[in-house]
């Protein structure tokens, strides 16, 4: 199989790449590896939904893949998700897409603007390691939440379990290119007033790497 792994930053993928054999540079931001008989392209997009959408669409339009896998960290709104937990994001949306109406928020759909309000992975690749992960609902944001009032508002509006800065963009690119995919993330922090000392980044990245390898080994 030919697999595309997408990540925002190199540290999020380093434990995975360490298990691969390096084959070659494919082009800007893409390196090709081999693992367990698969050819694996790793795309490091940079942070944010714009970079992710642009680079994913460029790469997927140029090369045929059998599967896309987005790996990264996320913040959690759900107290049932312990720090370090790896999740499968099956539904995602761009939380900020809309307009402010004084103290209210109007979604793009409420404004009658043409948009994709929600991205759903209705048919993830059949994979034993993937199926063991908690399936969660996410939001994708340009500004991660760290204020009690905004957290309460977005929780009421969408009831998300996790948030990232790239997930919905990856999912949209895969959906429009008919590429089977999975968005897999590890919880590094609780979504709350920013407390960086309480984050478990190293544990999240370690667990994410182990899960990504397990998914590849079960293909």
pLDDT at 102 over 90: no
Q: What is the CA radius of gyration of the chain?
A: 17
What Cα–Cα distance (Å) separates residue 190 from each residue in 76, 82, 158, 165, 200? 5, 9, 17, 15, 10
DSSP string, 54-110: HHHHHHHHHS--SEEEEEEEEEES-TTS-TT-EEEEEEE-BTT-EEEETTEEEETTT
Domain ranges (residues) in the chain: 2-217
pLDDT at 128 over 80: yes
Q: Look at residue 206 in the predicted model and tell me its pLDDT.
A: 97
Q: Look at residue 106 in the predicted model and tell me its pLDDT.
A: 87
Q: What is the pTM for the complete model shown? A: 0.95
pLDDT in tens, 160-179: 999 999 999 999 999 999 99
Q: Which of 99, 81, 68 is CA-nearest to residue 174?
A: 68
Q: How far apart are CA 214 and CA 205, in angstroms?
A: 14
* CATH among 3.40.50.1580, 3.10.20.30, 3.40.190.10, 3.40.50.360 for 2-217: 3.40.50.1580
pLDDT at 50 over 90: yes
Q: Which residue has the tokens 């999240």?
A: 204
């Amino acid at each position: 199989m030919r697999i595309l792994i997408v990540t925002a930053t190199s540290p999020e993928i380093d434990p995975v790449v360490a298990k691969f054999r390096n084959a070659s540079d494919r082009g800007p931001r893409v390196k090709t590896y081999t693992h367990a008989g698969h050819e694996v392209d790793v795309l490091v997009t940079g942070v944010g939904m714009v970079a992710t959408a642009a680079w994913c669409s460029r790469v997927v339009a140029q090369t045929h893949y059998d599967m896309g896998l987005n790996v990264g960290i996320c913040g959690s709104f759900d107290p049932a998700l312990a720090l370090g937990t790896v999740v499968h994001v099956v539904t995602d949306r761009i939380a900020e897409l809309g307009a402010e109406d004084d103290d209210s928020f109007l979604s793009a759909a409420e404004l009658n603007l043409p948009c994709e309000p929600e991205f759903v992975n209705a048919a993830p690749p059949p994979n034993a390691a993937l199926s063991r992960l908690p399936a969660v609902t996410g939001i994708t944001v340009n500004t991660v939440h760290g204020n009690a009032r905004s957290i309460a508002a977005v929780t009421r509006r969408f009831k998300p379990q996790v948030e990232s800065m790239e997930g919905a963009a990856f999912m949209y690119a895969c959906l429009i290119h008919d590429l089977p995919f999975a968005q897999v993330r590890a919880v590094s922090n609780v979504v709350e007033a920013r407390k960086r000392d309480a984050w478990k980044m190293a544990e999240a990245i370690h667990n994410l790497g182990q899960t990504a390898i397990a998914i590849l080994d079960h293909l």
